[in-house]
């Protein structure tokens, strides 16, 4: 049985829209043909907790139906990052061609070191909440009592509002 999975995509090096499209297509190919797929608009946001002078990010969220385990999905997404040019062993939050994070995986709650679902910082990040709220405003994460849109409306992260770059991509 397929699980509904939310995945955040970010890029702040190279042709950021091309990078996001390439990641989207690789991930979409993991989903059985004809199953659920959503994509949020792309937003530009200032880097958070990144080295000084890091370029702005383009961020979005996609949602797919996935058949497989969360660990298999993580293995696939990490492989896609490498395939698309992410440098292994880079310092945390260094500029990157692509960043792929699993936000949620159906009703799973997992804390297995390298794999934590729902993503532990997603409700604290406007650059994740804004695109997610565009496609799943009424989503309540497993173990939570507040919707994504409520998290976004009460967020006090100090982040600047993300700027819409492209609604259809």
The catalytic residue positions are 86, 96, 99, 101
Residues 6+ apart with CB under 8 A from 160: 45, 46
For β-strands 99-105 and 3-11, DSSP reports them as antiparallel
113 cis-preceded (ω within 30 degrees of 0)? no
Residues 6+ apart with CB under 8 A from 35: 2, 64, 65
Q: What values do phi and psi take at 148, rounded to 5? A: -60, -45
CB atoms closer than 10 angstroms to residue 136: 21
Cβ-Cβ contacts under 8 Å for 75 (sequence gap 6 or more): none
The whole-angstrom separation of Cα 85 and Cα 96 is: 8
């Amino acid at each position: 049985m397929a699980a509904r999975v939310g995945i955040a995509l970010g890029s702040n090096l190279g042709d950021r829209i091309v990078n996001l499209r390439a990641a989207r297509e690789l991930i979409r190919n993991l989903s059985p043909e004809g199953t659920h797929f959503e994509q949020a608009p792309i937003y530009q946001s200032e880097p958070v907790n990144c080295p000084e002078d890091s370029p702005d990010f383009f961020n979005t969220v996609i949602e797919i139906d996935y058949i497989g385990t969360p660990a298999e999905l993580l293995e696939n997404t990490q492989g896609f990052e490498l395939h698309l040019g992410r440098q292994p062993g880079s310092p945390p939050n260094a500029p990157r061609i692509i960043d792929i994070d699993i936000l949620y995986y159906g009703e799973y709650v997992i804390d297995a070191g390298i794999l934590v679902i729902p993503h532990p910082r997603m409700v604290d990040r406007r650059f994740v909440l804004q695109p997610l709220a565009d496609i799943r405003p009424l989503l309540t994460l497993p173990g939570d009592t507040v919707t994504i849109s409520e998290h976004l409306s009460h967020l006090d992260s100090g982040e600047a509002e993300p700027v819409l770059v492209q609604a259809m991509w």
